[in-house]
Amino acid sequence: EIVMTQSPATLSVSPGERATLSCRASQSVSTNLAWYQHKPGQAPRLLIYGASTRATGIPPRFSGSGSGTEFTLTISSLQSEDFAVYYCQQYNVWPPWTFGQGTKVDVK
Amino acid sequence: EVQLVESGGGLVKPGRSLRLSCLASGFRFGDYGMSWFRQAPGKGLEWVAFIRSKTFTGTTDYAASVKDRFTISRDDSKSFAYLQMNSLKTEDTAVYYCSRAVRYSSGRSVVYYFDYWGQGTLVTVSS
């Protein structure tokens, strides 16, 4: 099973600032890596797949990069609606599909 | 518009059974694999079960924690996915989400990622 590790656990950011979230895989997942945004009581929302491709309807302030074992999600200028928990998920080796433990982005 | 709506959650005693349903709309349901995930209180997301489309065998996979207790199935004529949960344990308490799986070829492998999710249904296992 591939273990995904996200850092930091919590990121405190002011609106308008840049946020950088990291995700590391215990072995290479190529570019088979997705990022999700999750707010309480809502459906998880796919932001990025293929490590860097934005999903349908995702604004360009969200960008993903990386390959192999190291990945980054960048939110270029945080909006109020972006405060949420973000998860990375690998889908290169399955089952199981595995997630990181999440990074909570909150208001500084 | 793609929509997934889960139902069937509730309070159940340990050892009992529950069946969750996921009604899909806005796409050709039979063309896609479907999966169930869960989130226990205060925890992250966890994959639970997966069923391929009938075009690609319709076979299933399960997380080790639920194998031999849970069964995923689908009714393509009604656009439903189901999760039959037997021998429930307190540690199965979670919000359960269904999700649509997108299949593509990555090199010489086939991979699936999950593009649309429902809002979830809460299952509480407690005496």
Residues of chain A falling short of pLDDT 70: none
Distance CA A64, CA A48 (A): 7
A89 touches chain B (CB under 8 A): yes
Closest by Cα among B16, B15, B20, B9 to B124: B9
Under an 8 A CB cutoff, do A89 and B107 touch?
no
What mean pLDDT comes out for the span B97-112?
A: 93
Q: For residue B14, is pLDDT > 90?
A: yes
At residue B108 the predicted structure's pLDDT band, cuts being 50, 70 and 90, is confident
As a whole number of Å, the CA-based R_g of chain A is 13
Q: Which of residues 5-64 of A touch B (CB under 8 A)?
A: 30, 32, 34, 36, 38, 41-46, 49, 55-56
Q: Which of residues 9-68 of B touch A (CB under 8 A)?
A: 35, 37, 44-47, 50, 61-64
Q: What is the pLDDT of residue A83?
A: 96
Asked if B66 and B49 count as a contact pair (C-beta separation under 8 A), the reply is yes
Tokens of A59: 């604004």
Distance CA A69, CA A29 (A): 6
Q: For residue B97, is pLDDT > 90?
A: yes
The 3-class SS string of chain B reads: CCEEEEECCEEECCCCCEEEEEEEECCCHHHCEEEEEEECCCCCEEEEEEECCHHHCCCEEECCCCCCCEEEEEECCCCEEEEEECCCCHHHCEEEEEEEEEEEEECCEEEEEEEEECCCEEEEECC
Distance CA B70, CA B81 (A): 13
Proportion of chain B above pLDDT 70, given as a percent: 100
Distance CA B36, CA B24 (A): 13
At residue B84 the predicted structure's pLDDT band, cuts being 50, 70 and 90, is very high
Under an 8 A CB cutoff, do B113 and A46 touch?
yes
Asked if B55 and B61 count as a contact pair (C-beta separation under 8 A), the reply is no
Closest by Cα among B83, B24, B78, B73 to B51: B73
Tokens of A34: 């997705």
Q: What is the pLDDT of residue A34?
A: 98
Tens of pLDDT, residue by residue over B31-74, are 999 999 999 999 999 999 999 999 999 999 999 999 999 999 99
Q: What is the pLDDT of residue B106?
A: 78
Q: Which of residues 59-118 of B touch A (CB under 8 A)?
A: 61-64, 97, 99, 102, 106-107, 109, 111-118
What mean pLDDT comes out for the span B78-107?
A: 96
At residue B105 the predicted structure's pLDDT band, cuts being 50, 70 and 90, is confident
Percentages helix, strand, coil for chain A, rounded to the nearest 5?
5, 50, 45
Q: For residue B17, is pLDDT > 90?
A: yes
What mean pLDDT comes out for the span B63-91?
A: 98
Both ends of chain A: CA-CA distance in Å? 35
Q: How far is B14 from chain A (nearest CA, A)?
A: 25
Closest by Cα among B44, B96, B97, B93 to A85: B44
Q: What is the pLDDT of residue B107?
A: 80
